[in-house]
Structure 1
Amino acid sequence: MSSVRSALIVGAGVAGPAAALALAKVGIRSTIVESHPGPADGVGAVITLASNGYDVLRTLGVASSVDAEAQRTFEVHMSDAGGQTFARYPSSGFVMARDALSGILADHAARAGSRVEYGRRLVGAEAASDGVVAHFEDGAELATDLVVGADGIHSTVRGIIDPDAPDPVYEGVLGFGGITDAGATSADPGVMNFAFGRRFLGYWRLPDGRICWYAALPRAEETSWRQIEGTPSSSWLARLRAEYAGLYPAEDLLALSTPDDLVTTGPMLRMPPVPHWHGARRRFRSCAVLHLWTRGIAGAGECARARQVSSGPA
């Protein structure tokens, strides 16, 4: 990549600014474009970082900033629906708000020389003799050496690379979470808890003593964001309470939760393996995290956006 000097990164969530920081370390200055009108403040729920993910953040030079915002976990605890422990083992990790991580990465990327342009939607890109020409919804064009796609599971860049790439697959559940008082739920500080049974629940204790939990609601038919947001959160909470009735500690936590506490991460989607793609002068191979096509186009994974649904009457 010695001849590459400029990059266009599509997506300013988490993966985009992270890619910009990585490219800056090898002398490549990036422009990050984002279709949303502004930064991701308040967008998303909580991200769990495993130790290898944290190692990447350390390499990118943002670990100290993450330390100031994240809560560290040291152990995983697994139990059954009755609260009986069947596994407990050391496991280092971090949990933090998605928008906090996105903001940290964006701030560091800006200091490294990258710039973010909001309200710009990529609609096409084509290889040129000396790089790539990107086309935007407003009719503008941008010539660059490299395009990196960090635009999520419904990636525009992936479709440009391979129009026949598979679509995400709905996994049959909707994701929900919330923060509530602990009540009778026992949770040691620094421990990530997983409760298994008829349904799964994940939860951990926050520094202020409250519990952050996340759950999955089975739903055979895929539900759009518009349908989710059009359903009052009181209705979703009632469905969760019915689904988790009799299960520890979900029943207690959901009883203490209010409609205003409820956050949805939306339909849970899985990205099938993306076929190999190649052309006369460029190659692409699917990867879970990041794809680079020198003097070409790349694709990257991104985190699902979470939203707080309305709390009106059912």
Structure 2
Amino acid sequence: MPINHIIIIGGGIAGVASALALLRHNKVHCSVFEIRSEPTTIGGAINLTPNALRYLDHLGVLPRLLPKGCEVHHIDVISQRTGANLGQIDFDKVEKFKHRALRILRADLLDALLEELEESGVKVQYSKRIDSVLERDDGVEATFGDGSKVTGDMLLGCDGIHSSVRMNFVQPERKPVYTGIAVTYGFLDAAGLSDLLPFDSTTAIFGRFGTFLMSFYTVDRSQLYISVVTETKDMGSREGWLVRGSDQDALKDDILRRFAGSAMPYLETGMQKIDSWVLYPVFKLPPHGVWHSGQLLLLRDAAHAVSLSICMPPQGESVGLVLEDVVLFSRLVAHHKGKAASHIFHNYDLLRRARIDAAYKEATFHWETAKD
């Protein structure tokens, strides 16, 4: 049976990129539904690697991003204790990889994807909570909290690590687990600070009590993004994390304590200048989970939630893995025209599983080494 219409649950980066890739490769009509009332993404400024930029170029999105982000030739890796340069993560190989890296706000990336999708004739439908799924011989029917229904040839769950599709319809027993790691981040104007910074665009500072990342994220290098990855006690509930994150004085004091006595005075200067910090815990999914059931497939965080960009801030591979997922899947849909959804899902699993298992193993290593 030909694939003519795909239902996508989740209007974030994974869901919108999936719709773009499917339109580009297959001219398949996609309907995208998001539970939130407006475009929303969690996180600060991400480092898009050359791999990610090639996929974004393929999807037609890259020209919208280049005027907004800061090009990254390399990332300096520095010791907090001594201030010594421990090495570089090099992205300055344009002749080989076509692009350097790009540091940009996650919100700007999502906006660019949404603009490209809307120009392709698809608008995300917001305030849509999926309530039930009915699988039929001729496809799948989704019903939402407002009573509306939609039918399609398959359904993609792109709704994040706390995926309703996974927890209600694919593998309910597979629940997110706190890694023991949390990220605290903030933004500041670089005026009066730029001359003090001994790096071109981005530096990652490794210390005993966490990893400190400082990076420009605008094309004119006028704005700085700072994030700290630390071992943090589990707050036990969403409400507990909200309370912890709302105590701005405690967050700042904790960061200053962890990075006190640094050989780089600009660290404390930068931290003191930030008025508002955002805290969020990093969760993972148990490995080797089920990715598909019947006419339903999970993509990205809903399926495997490998956040290398969190556990090792410079890499930014989280978005790269998202784009690999969706482009590979769209190509399989094109290659297996007329095949059943289960056949396409099975082949996707066969091609993708080893890559994700390797990434999960690397992420787990970094989660553990990031702890005190």
- Structure 2 runs not aligned, ≥5 long: 92-99, 307-321, 334-339, 350-355, 357-372
- Structure 1 runs not aligned, ≥5 long: 302-314
Larger strand proportion, structure 1 or 2?
A: 1
- Normalising by structure 1, report the TM-score: 0.82
Q: Which residue of 2 aligns with 1:311?
A: none
Q: 1:101-112 residue pairs with structure 2 within 5 A?
A: 101-112=109-120
Instruction: Mark the CA change 1:134 to 1:274 in structure 2 (over 3 Å): closer, same or farther.
Output: farther
Is the Cα–Cα contact under 8 Å of residues 158 and 298 in structure 2 kept in the other structure? Answer: no
3-state SS in 2 of match to 1:3: coil
Per-residue deviation, residues 119-162 of structure 1 (Å, max 9, x unmatched): 01112323211111112122332111121111111111222453
Distance 1:95 1:193 in 2: 12
Q: Does 1:123 align with 2:131?
A: yes
Larger helix proportion, structure 1 or 2?
A: 2
Distance 1:106 1:277 in 2: 26
Q: Does 1:95 align with 2:111?
A: no
Moved more, 278-287 or 67-76: 278-287
- Normalising by structure 2, report the TM-score: 0.70
Instruction: Mark the CA change 1:99 to 1:278 in structure 2 (over 3 Å): closer, same or farther.
Output: closer
Q: Which residue of 2 aligns with 1:268?
A: 282
Is the Cα–Cα contact under 8 Å of residues 183 and 253 in structure 1 kept in the other structure? Answer: no
Tell me which amino acid in the other structure corresponds to 1:241.
Answer: L
Q: Which residue of 1 aligns with 2:250?
A: 235
Q: Percent same amino acid at aligned positions?
A: 22
Q: 1:1-314 residue pairs with structure 2 within 5 A?
A: 3-25=2-24, 26-40=26-40, 44-81=43-80, 82-91=82-91, 92-180=100-188, 181=190, 182=193, 185-190=196-201, 192-198=202-208, 199-206=210-217, 207-222=220-235, 224-230=237-243, 231-249=246-264, 251-253=267-269, 255-258=271-274, 260-264=275-279, 266-276=280-290, 289=322, 290=325, 295=341
Distance 2:89 2:292 in 1: 44
Is the Cα–Cα contact under 8 Å of residues 165 and 275 in structure 1 kept in the other structure? Answer: no
Instruction: Mark the CA change 1:248 to 1:129 in structure 2 (over 3 Å): closer, same or farther.
Output: farther
Please report the RMSD computed on the Cα atoms of aligned residues, expressed in angstroms.
Answer: 3.1
Instruction: Mark the CA change 1:11 to 1:84 in structure 2 (over 3 Å): closer, same or farther.
Output: same
- Report the count of equivalent residues: 295
Q: Which residue of 2 aligns with 1:307?
A: none
Distance 1:253 1:168 in 2: 36
Moved more, 163-172 or 283-292: 283-292
Distance 1:214 1:277 in 2: 32
Is the Cα–Cα contact under 8 Å of residues 156 and 298 in structure 2 kept in the other structure? Answer: no
Is the Cα–Cα contact under 8 Å of residues 185 and 253 in structure 1 kept in the other structure? Answer: no
